[in-house]
Structure 1
Amino acid sequence: MGTGTDAGLLRFVRGVSLDEGARKWLAEAVPGEFFTYPGGLTAAERQAVTYARLRHAGLAAPPAAELLDDPPALCALLERAAIADPALFHVMLLHYTLALGPIVRFGADGEGPREARAALESMSAFGALLMTEAGRSNSHLSPRTLARHDPATGGFVLSTPDAAAVKFPTNTAHPDIPKIAAVYATLVHGGRERGVFVFVVPVRGLDGRVPEGVAVVPAPETSGLPVDYAAVRLDGLRVPRESWLSDGARVEADGSFHDPVGSPAARLTRSMGIGPAVWRAVVSASAAITRASAGTLLAHSAGRATLGRLAPLRPLTDYRNQREAVLGALASAYALTAVARHVTERRAPADPGTGTGGGAGPDVGPDVGAGGPRTAWAPWSAVDRDLALLKAAATVQAQETVSMCRVHCGAPGFAAVERLNAYRGLAHAYQNAGGDNELILYDTARAMADLDRYAPPEPGAGPPDEGDLRSPRVWLFLARDVERRMRDRLAGRVADARAAGRDPFTAWNGNLVLAARTAVACADRTMLEILVTSLEEGPELLGPVLRLHALNWLDRRAGDLLNEGVVPAGVLDEVWALRAEVCDALAPRAADLAAGLDLPAPITAPAAGILPGDGG
């Protein structure tokens, strides 16, 4: 099953930005004991351990401002946290990118809440996010939590008007953990809504007390991603001027309001400009838990005998279903790692609003402010359409692969350890968290149909390389062709509906299935372009691995490819035959591929910790 670790694969997985010193502090920040929890803990006790581990990680890692300015380093820390403990990843992501991130980004030139920032950077308090409101969908577009300027003090008064506008979910329930929240609220001044701004608000003090004007209602315990969830309502909460992350906006001495971004819509997009740091982290974590799941499945399968009556004591991986599952998981792991390295190591311009982004190529641009496409369902595509789309694609790929690994590990994958269930919970949660995947797909499709910062792939003369499905040029041809055809059909349908007098809602509501699949086609093509670039730059063994991933892509998308007339009937027979051929060639190198994933030592077969001896 293999002879050793391929150095080229290790370099590919580790990326080019982290040296041995970085890997040392990563291991110190998230040590091996963080990969399990002590037994017998209550939910609150487990949550306290999670935050204690976050404090340890933050103090062992470089300073927060350095991490936020170094995406590969921050994502590497978050990747290791995700593999060790998805709950730790979640609170770490909230702390760095969604609480500290806005302070660093929008509180420039010494402005902003210095005490709150110091508390977060020193890990004496932990970050929380108050953005989504419980009672209405698409609440990011128009939060009903209001902030009103108080001319007497220069500060602001924050209020949640009713139960439907409470902020949920938030990680604020634990009674003994100090929390500082980034609150997204609509600023109302002079009788007009001025846009959505971020306010930094302590919601639990060092003694755990909730300040006057804040109500925290703990949510029922959950096992999917076990964090201290709660709903938060603000009732006339008074905050000082420095709590407002104004980002250049100001209230003058005469009471007039000025905002250099020009409009409430542009302010909303700019305030949501923290999104790219989140999406890079989620893509990276998706790759990390996929690598860990693939390694777990191989550890479960390698050397395992079966008692099936077709061939008693035959190795499990001799059966094609298990062989293709193991190698397919490894292929997904390397494919998502390629995407993660792409988004973390290609730096976007620092100033939101300066880029045009959103192009058809694989490079991820900022697409922030006026440079992004118009959006109807959520603000995310206006911030960075391509990066948000890759987040949606990566979480789906991770969730599908992790779930497949859990099933192919049999009962031990479900019952022996929590790891695969926890990974699946993380991937599932982030299909809604960090920007809802479906809404991202719809806004992407709308930009595609309207040719809004989007150029369709050019039509080709026909499949190159005689249509050989092993050829990367053929993968790209098929992906681009199906994307272009679906976009054209979607645009035509919506145009016909509008010409028939239907309003925008009706025109789009009747085409949401096609819209989502069109955006998925765009994501597929973008990811394949990244993979082809990785093939050209990566080690030799990466070639057949990514070829297997492309064949699995053809299998998954056969319905759309056939529906659009891009491939002929019978294509799946060819795909299946080629997949078997590639898997047979890769099977002897499976252990090498797993070693190349650079997994921490605690990642083992699900039953290894409960069986006597070596767990064989």
Structure 2
Amino acid sequence: MSAADPALLRLVRGGLDAKALARVAEAVPARFAAYPEELTARGQQELTYRRLRQAGLAAPPAAELLADPPLLCALLERTVVADPALFHVMMLHYTLALGPILRFGAGQEGLGGAREALESMRSFGTLLMTEAGRSNSHLSPRTVARYDEAAREFVLDTPDAQAAKFPTNTAHPDVPKTAAVYATLVHRGREEGVFVFVVPLRGADGAAAEGVQIVPAPETTGLRVDYAAVRLRGLRVPYEAWLRDGASFDADGALHDPAGGPAQRLTRSMGIAPAVWRSVVSAMAAVTRASAGLLLAHSAGRATLGRLAPRRPLTDYRNQSEAVLGALASAYALTAVAGHVKARRTPADLPPAAGDGEGGAGGAGGAWAPWSAVDRDLALFKVVATRRAHETVTRCRVHSGAPGFAATDRLNGYRGLAHAYANAGGDNELILFDTARAMASLEGYAPPEVAARLPAGGDLRAPQVWLHLAGDLERRLAERLAGRVGAAAAGGDAFAAWNDNLALASLTAGVSAERAELAVVAEAAAAGPAVLRPLLALHALEWVERRAGALLSEGVAGPGLLDLVWQARREIGDALAGQAQALAAGLDLPEWLTAPVEAVTGG
């Protein structure tokens, strides 16, 4: 095994010291990477929660993790490589159950019991946000919370099956659960916006609370957790269960909300999203690193029997060597993006001040979803990360042949996770649509400035050229989108104007997100060791190839573009020949990743 470059290890480890890394490793030991074969689906889920409890008790305290994004992300990165299902329930527990308590309930009396139950892992956190029967349900949940002034309680109701909260990880009948419930506060006949309520769904014995109906969903192999739909039927919760975020009722029963109105309240209540997006981006980087390591382990030393050259090593074929190097390039590129988002702080990370308007947390208000109003840039990095991870993991699985599909479930599990988070944590398409609206109206958006000519002689391996191509493409697409929508909207039908241009909107915002990613990658290439520069150029070349149609269509590039991409890729591949093992060593992958499943102890 090649020695790891210290500079590569620093990039992957995100600046954490040896003590922190050791504690993370202790919290998620090697045995968490496999399940005993005899377990049923429910048995596997029960073991997942048992491991979550063990990890939570061994890891740093929850408040410390949530205050230190690199530390929380390190824990989640190690977890996701071992078990995507464990990652999913762990992230929900910390960021979407405990996170709202710490953010919206700071200094609020009466939350000690729920918080202590979650921090001690006596109960596991879950989220009740999305509703099953209507799209864009985050914008206007039909689950309502009515304030009973006489009893000083809230009554939570799900009006019908279409308003049931789904998907939720609440089905296991023996696992205690505490939920962060997103509901529309209705007071004196008026909707006052979306607030969060802390609700014990299942007690210590797993029994559902009175007023809580849990309907298990069929088992799935995509991301193996205990999915269920939840309806609340006249569920009474105490006043203290309301995470009021500065809101209050006065002596006359009138509501006072510092947000300033229902739309602004929705944006504030979704302010937990940055922690989720950092976690997802970091997880996508981690599974991409793991997948690259698995593909290299499959490819290294493997002989082929093709009749053109019998007994030729598999990696002598350019399609395989380029797949290996391309996966390593994506792994380091996403690692750089993860490092960027972990270090990035925005107003959305702090409790918003009284009177913050919609979009005050970093973006324009959303027409399709609330996420761009919370933090447009972080949401876009989540889009890019899930897309690149899904693409790279899929390529690693395909280039691992039948073993990639059947030998272990690691690549399938990573692929399922990346697929799931295209919708979870904010739907990618809706994020892109809202971003495109802001771009078209120049709302918090300035088109990139682009020189008249390609820099660096047009060498596709030069970062200046990547950024020029991406910036020029984004500028042209944004101008065309604004012109089309503006002309169509002049007739007064905004829906028709956008509905006829959603494909262009998605492309425009997607390219903008990719330009931001390429800018981070270019910085990493400049700051990192020399070996990173050609490797990350491979990542950029893949972007050029992926967007070749748009580059040609918009006149940014001319005929022959793909030949230039392929030539540059061959030259980089030749320059990096023999360095794959050293690059993989820098990914700091756990030793058990490439071990046979039976070699990893279950339990």
Note whether the superposition's TM-score is higher than 0.5.
yes
Cα offsets for 1:5-54 (capped at 9, x unmatched): 211111111112x1000111011000011111111100000001100110
Q: Does 1:382 align with 2:359?
A: no
Q: Tell me by how many angstroms 1:113 deviates.
A: 2.0
Query: How far apart are the structure 2 equivalents of 1:582 and 1:354?
Result: 51
Alignment of 1:182-581 (within 5 A): 182-349=180-347, 350-353=349-352, 369=360, 371-499=362-490, 501-581=491-571
Matched to 2:567, the amino acid is A
Query: How far apart are the structure 2 equivalents of 1:273 and 1:370?
Result: 8
Query: How far apart are the structure 2 equivalents of 1:87 and 1:61?
Result: 18
Query: How far apart are the structure 2 equivalents of 1:459 and 1:592?
Result: 37
Q: Tell me by how many angstroms 1:566 deviates.
A: 0.5
Whether the aligned pair in 1 keeps the contact of 2:263 and 2:358 (CA below 8 Å) is no
SS in 2 for 1:440: helix
SS in 1 for 2:229: strand
What is the TM-score of this pair, normalised by structure 2? Answer: 0.97
Matched to 1:351, the amino acid is L
Inter-CA distance 257–609: structure 2 relative to 1 (3 Å threshold): closer
Whether the aligned pair in 1 keeps the contact of 2:155 and 2:237 (CA below 8 Å) is yes
Whether the aligned pair in 2 keeps the contact of 1:416 and 1:610 (CA below 8 Å) is no
- Stretches of structure 1 that go unaligned for 5 or more consecutive residues are 358-365, 612-616
SS in 2 for 1:186: strand
Match of 1:175 in 2: 173
Query: How far apart are the structure 1 equivalents of 2:99 and 2:361?
Result: 21
Q: Tell me by how many angstroms 1:353 deviates.
A: 4.2
Whether the aligned pair in 2 keeps the contact of 1:133 and 1:139 (CA below 8 Å) is yes
Inter-CA distance 45–610: structure 2 relative to 1 (3 Å threshold): closer
Alignment of 1:33-48 (within 5 A): 33-48=31-46
SS in 2 for 1:198: strand
Q: Tell me by how many angstroms 1:369 deviates.
A: 3.6
Whether the aligned pair in 1 keeps the contact of 2:363 and 2:444 (CA below 8 Å) is yes
- Stretches of structure 2 that go unaligned for 5 or more consecutive residues are none
Q: Tell me by how many angstroms 1:462 deviates.
A: 1.1
Match of 1:66 in 2: 64
Inter-CA distance 425–389: structure 2 relative to 1 (3 Å threshold): same
Whether the aligned pair in 1 keeps the contact of 2:104 and 2:351 (CA below 8 Å) is no
Cα offsets for 1:499-525 (capped at 9, x unmatched): 2x1501000000000000001110111
Query: How far apart are the structure 2 equivalents of 1:206 and 1:164?
Result: 29
Match of 1:361 in 2: none
Matched to 2:3, the amino acid is G
SS in 1 for 2:591: coil
Match of 1:598 in 2: 588
Match of 2:11 in 1: 12
SS in 2 for 1:588: coil
Q: Tell me by how many angstroms 1:243 deviates.
A: 0.3
What is the TM-score of this pair, normalised by structure 1? Answer: 0.95
Q: Give structure 1 regions of 4+ aligned residues with deviation exceeding 4 angstroms.
A: 352-355, 608-611
Query: How far apart are the structure 2 equivalents of 1:610 and 1:245?
Result: 46
Query: How far apart are the structure 1 equivalents of 2:281 and 2:97?
Result: 19
Query: How far apart are the structure 2 equivalents of 1:348 and 1:55?
Result: 31
Matched to 2:556, the amino acid is V
Query: How far apart are the structure 2 equivalents of 1:41 and 1:566?
Result: 56
Inter-CA distance 371–3: structure 2 relative to 1 (3 Å threshold): closer
SS in 2 for 1:584: helix
Query: How far apart are the structure 1 equivalents of 2:586 and 2:504?
Result: 39
Match of 1:100 in 2: 98
CA RMSD of aligned residues (A): 1.6
Match of 2:573 in 1: 583
Q: Tell me by how many angstroms 1:352 deviates.
A: 4.5
Query: How far apart are the structure 2 equivalents of 1:504 and 1:354?
Result: 32
**Matched-pair identity in %:** 69
Matched to 1:577, the amino acid is Q
Query: How far apart are the structure 2 equivalents of 1:542 and 1:339?
Result: 14
Q: Tell me by how many angstroms 1:255 deviates.
A: 0.8
SS in 1 for 2:549: helix
Q: Tell me by how many angstroms 1:260 deviates.
A: 0.8
